[in-house]
Structure 1
């Protein structure tokens, strides 16, 4: 068969990143069998610097900068990322295709010796690199001890099961993990969902904006490829992701602050946005829920989601009092 177009797709080299990229390639090959899609592994700053927590080494861009540079230079034609790890705006000259690949958005607990979060003994040590997860866990179980961890899913599971010593910066001592909390999408995609102890509902823990969604990034001037990608998009998924990332942008969240947003269709068939934001130290957290019923008068779906974002941000602003958002 004659190949019509060949596309090089940039990706990180972790197991999860490669699984996600191969999933995209499989879908694209099915849709465009005359084109060829090939993965290109690119090492990023986030892959190189592994001995510090993410909020100590910079923004979300540490996992994408090198990939985006190759995209801008034309060395690759497309990049696959986890959208939750991406900055609110793509680099100048780049854009995201509409969302069309989303897995389970929830977070999960993997515990060594307990059946659920409620069964954990007082003082149990739970590992996560996310302030969003940390402070929502502590809201439910303030007696837990949350420590920072890094690394891919296999590394985190090895540290948990192997009883490896984890340095707790808050107490300046080494501890062993009793459990970890990670994204459901990641552990499902690498085929280890059977090790999940508990799926946390979005009421118990609001996910990160766009969690479970793959970002397909291309040059803004590559209209031919963008058209191909957008043709495969799912309208509802894209609308929900826009609302979640819209809240992130409106609230001004970054890797130093706990921020969460999840949009879905509720039992009444209406869009519903859950959102959470708090101070960097977690001393103040506020959450809210906004549905289409709260934004009467909007005509288009896009207008509805934009208004829902504005209402959610305003409610949280009022609850937190002195905080003001740009």
Structure 2
């Protein structure tokens, strides 16, 4: 049996895809996996912010088209980059174990906290969620936009002598970029910066009607990760989530209960708030929905 696996061509995308393939090969050594790199619109256009060229879908359309056409059998994505609505004819399987969900400040300064950055420091991020939460901690900081892969962003930070860049901890860990002589990595506590929904989780996407692939992929699913995914994606979907709005969510799973923290705000960041909700494991989806509606009502009431 041969399975064609589609992915973007960045170092991170290829690394994540190889991780999934390697894990699957442990259970199915006789299956031949072929990795195919696919260039997306988001990869081609690097000098314009995401919100100006489209939405999260600019990084996946060409890959999803390949799935629908049958030129690939499965695709590996960073789940945090996936739109809230799933494309008709495609489904996500259960996901493997999650990486660290937090964000990290990469800086050339020898410091231990964001509060130690110089006055009026210049920090780069392409995310409104990160930007607005950073400014809540340090209103003096100047936030600038940035595009590119992880290594590209770090190099831009160093070459342009910026004070820092904020990146997902998961990507840094997977590429083994946490330690270097030119910069320091400082993990930002979740209490200070709520991560994007599903940050650190890999999404495996296939065409509907492929029970053969579901059976194979289910060998590497991880229950806690998929419980978190259900709650966080439900929160995102209820808010109609896109990259134009600051949205964050993280689900903490305990033995009997789960605790979901959600973050939401206005597009300009003038008003942003977070709430927490707890409940039973089996209610993960409804908890995400209920928490989103509660926060959305408060944000929409702002300024009336």
Secondary structure in 2 aligned to 1:208?
coil
2:266 is the alignment partner of 1:279: yes
- Correspondent of 1:265 among 253, 269, 287: 253
Residue 122 of structure 2 corresponds to: 125
- Equivalent residue number for residue 5 of structure 2: 9
1:46 paired with 2:33, answer no
**1:205, 1:243 → 2: CA distance?**
18
Secondary structure of the structure 1 residue equivalent to 2:301 = coil
1:76-225 paired onto structure 2 within 5 Å: 76-115=72-111, 116-162=113-159, 164=160, 176-195=161-180, 196-225=184-213
Deviations 1:282-315 (A, max 9, x none): 00101011112xxxxx6xx33x212321331233
CA shift digits 1:98-149 (9 cap, x unpaired): 1213111000001112412010122100000000000011111111111000
CA contact (8 A) 1:114 1:120 kept: no
Confirm or deny: 8 A CA contact 1:81 1:214 kept in the other structure.
yes
Quick check: 1:227 aligned with 2:215? Answer: yes
In 1, Cα distance between equivalents of 2:2 and 2:170: 29
Q: Distance in 2 between matches of 1:252 and 1:75?
A: 30
User: Residue 25 of structure 2 contacts residue 31 of structure 2 at CA under 8 Å; is this kept in 1?
Assistant: yes
Runs of 4+, deviation exceeding 6 Å: none
- Separation of aligned partners in 1, 2:175 and 2:221: 23
1:319 CA displacement: 3.3
Query: Please, what is the CA RMSD of the aligned residues?
Result: 1.5
Alignment of 1:320 onto 2:261: no
CA contact (8 A) 2:102 2:190 kept: yes
SS of the aligned residue for 2:263 comes to strand
Q: Which runs of 5+ in 1 are unaligned?
A: 165-175, 293-297
Q: Given the alignment, which residue of 252, 256, 259 partners 2:244? A: 256
1:48: Cα distance to partner? 0.2
Counterpart contact for 2:93–2:217, Cα < 8 Å: yes
Query: Which residue among 279, 289, 292 is the counterpart of 1:310?
Result: 289
Does residue 1:290 correspond to 2:280, yes or no? no
Return the TM-score normalized by structure 1: 0.88
Change (3 A) 1:75 1:179: same
Give the 3-state SS of the residue equivalent to 2:251 in structure 1. Answer: strand
In structure 2, distance between residues paired with 1:101 and 1:24: 10
Distance (whole Å) between structure 1 residues aligned to residue 89 and residue 293 of structure 2? 32
CA distance in 2, matches of 1:119, 1:143: 12
Aligned-pair distance for 1:90? 2.2
Q: Distance in 2 between matches of 1:306 and 1:71?
A: 27
SS of 2:43's equivalent in the other structure is helix
Contact preservation (8 Å) 1:25, 1:38:
no
Given that 2:95 and 2:203 are in contact with CA atoms closer than 8 Å, whether structure 1 keeps it comes out as yes
Alignment coverage as a number of residue pairs: 298
For residue 318 of structure 1, report the CA deviation from its aligned partner.
Answer: 4.4
Structure 2, unaligned runs of 5 or more = none
Partner of 2:15: 19
Distance 1:321 1:40 in 2: 44
